[in-house]
Structure 1
Amino acid sequence: MRGMLDRPEQELILVVEDAVDACQRLGALLADRYQVRLVGSGEALHAARSRPQPDLILLGWQDDYVLCRGLRTDPQTRHIPLILVTGCSDAADEQLGFDLGAADYITKPVSAPIVLARVRAQLQLKAATDYLRDKSEYLELEVKRRTRDIQNLQDVTIEAMASVAVMRDNPSSRRLERIERYMTCLTAALARQQPALSESLNEERIAQLGKSAMLHVIDRLTLPDRVLLNHGEPDENDLRLLSEGVIAGRDALQRAERKLGSVTDFLSDAKDIVYGQHERWDGKGYPQGVSGEQIPLSARLMALVGHFEELSCRHPYRPPISPAQAVAQISAASGTRFDPMVVLAFVEATAEFLYIAETLADDAAAVGVKLQRLEDSLAESIELTLPPAP
């Protein structure tokens, strides 16, 4: 960023005057202190636009309203201060000159001290204006850079936290990528369908919900493998452990928020998702058993996204169900398991969901890793339940 005093040793002044003698006199007066370019009125606009651009324009004005207005309105020249030099001393003429955008007004015959003083004053004012503009642009760029750095840090933190949880299940899975894409896809469809939500679900918010959704797996960190890898109906003890995992995940995010010292939208959404994704529209979910719109919208969206992920991805114990079956199952659960409004958005976005599922599918190696984890967990469970030898 340039400082106020970091100006060229000699500023460039453009003298516009059709009377050759008057033009040369002004040029000679200024030449000892400044760089000077002398032109007639016909060349003025082109000269003012040319590089290097002048720092100040002295315009010998003889009712040339068009040129004066052109210099003031042209985007390339309107920032250059303009001093009118004219033989008209009438107050109305001066007012007209200022109305046309002149910064100052000098009457002929000119006085050398007055010309030099007013030129110096305008150049100092321009230097201060340029400094403030440069500083403003610098600060704007710095804010953008720091915002970008914070966003990158947030993204890395989210991915790292979520990856820790996913690695317990299947470190080779592309689950987090799919979840982020599903969430943004579903939220965008909902915003299109529900005009009342379109303002709150803007492009930035949709992307943020996708990032927050990646933290949905935080509730898995405290679960034993036998519960984590159990894909049947949980018994009463498992349900207690699952609820405790949800609460632990939410509390971990709350602690992170307290340490941050401020409430952030992405952490608030992540807490809502972790704490509410297992609730059901009909109130038969966990850990609270709340229903309907008592469940945060982000959690209602995540409930459907998570269920579609389970239905559509490859598992070691079963293949994914067909797209038609997935749509049918989710549609059938509208009003019971899922928010009907969210289900309608899903139906609209089905083709996009299926494309994501296909392009980001786990490969055979990833499924094999999960199968090995499942077998290890089963073996451990059998060992724990074997009766003691007589």
Structure 2
Amino acid sequence: MNLTITNVKRLGSEERESVTLEDGLIKGWNLPEDQHGETLDGRGGTLIPGLFEPHAHLREPGQTEKEDLASGLAAAAAGGYTNVICMPNTTPVIDDPALVRALQEKAAGLGLARLHVSAALTQGQRGERLAELSALKSAGAVMFTDDGRTNEDARLLRLGLEYAASLGMVVSVHAEDASLRADGVMNEGAVSETLGLPGNPVAAEAARIARDLEIVAYLHGQGLPVRLHIQHLSSARGLELVRSAKQRGLPVTCEVSPHHLTLTDEKLRSFDAIYKVAPPLRTQADADALFEGLLDGTVDCIATDHAPHTRAEKERDLLEAPFGIPYIEVAWPVMYTRFGEKLGVEKLVDLMTAGPARVLGWDAPSLEPGERADLMVFDPDTERKVNPASFQSKAKFCPYAGETLRGWPLLTVVGGEVAFEQGCQ
């Protein structure tokens, strides 16, 4: 059965058009009405490829009081995302091929955002022995990472990069030196000193990035097709190291999260653990540097690092509360409102659609006939306040609560099927 979305504008155009979808693909634009089948009114919104989330914590299995596949993928669809990579730091850790398959099968039956599973680089994410990487890839894993933990054993990371390279896979790393980070709960600096809270210095991120890049440089110099992806860059110094590595031709990519672009350690003066995240919110100078990284192409993609917890957990004091910020449903409106004009909407779309695909070596999404019908329609003009009580996520809170934003998703289509329609939750 065909589905036609009428009354939409392609990005950069004021012309209202219609797009017809068939068998999960884009059939064509402005086709005769006798080919339309079922129709949906796009309400004059702007149509772009569906967003791609390369870094989300969906908490299944074993942590479903925080989030599960149904709530997390519904939240993603409500945020305009059609593809989501989930992280493996669950209970148990996703280091078993059978678990990779089970998660994919369950997600496929939900009719929400499409799930891609990242698997642990090491068994149990303990950093002692590599997981069964070949079997995990065969089961459908798209990336290897011990995210949620740092890779302290340099030799094991080297072996993981070599093995992943033989499989044509990316290794993604949480780049913090655990000994330098120690018990830091926020950025080490003037604010942490004033508040008397243990700090996590920029050096923890920079030192680990420098080490990992040296390993990549060595292996790349031997002709190995290694690929390293650095998660959630938070500092100007970390970005500088990545920029230098790219200029040297090293096979490294990186992501930046909206919270590191829009929030700073000044927020911790409230002592509200909603702002406690790893790596921590840094200074305005760091946020400005990260934005420059978006402009000059050093940053490859935007990733939310959506990390839901229970409200009770986040209401603990800053020393005891868990790290993590949930907001996948508002990431696009946040970025569109804050940076749409300064960055350019076309560039923003690229960072949140084609960018993650390129990190994985996948084809960039397209709106051309014959391409997969993963689409998002958003309203570029109407302002609305963030109301976490209406979230699809189990985490009914976020750091942008009450903020007035534009760019809200109206419709999300995954494989030609409606996964979200505003007003029809």
Q: Tell me if both proteins adopt one fold, taking TM over 0.5 as the criterion.
A: no
Shorter-chain TM-score tier:
under 0.3
Structure with the larger strand share: 2
Structure with larger RCO (C-alpha < 8 A, sep 6+)? 2
Q: TM-score, normalised by structure 2?
A: 0.24
Structure with the larger helix share: 1
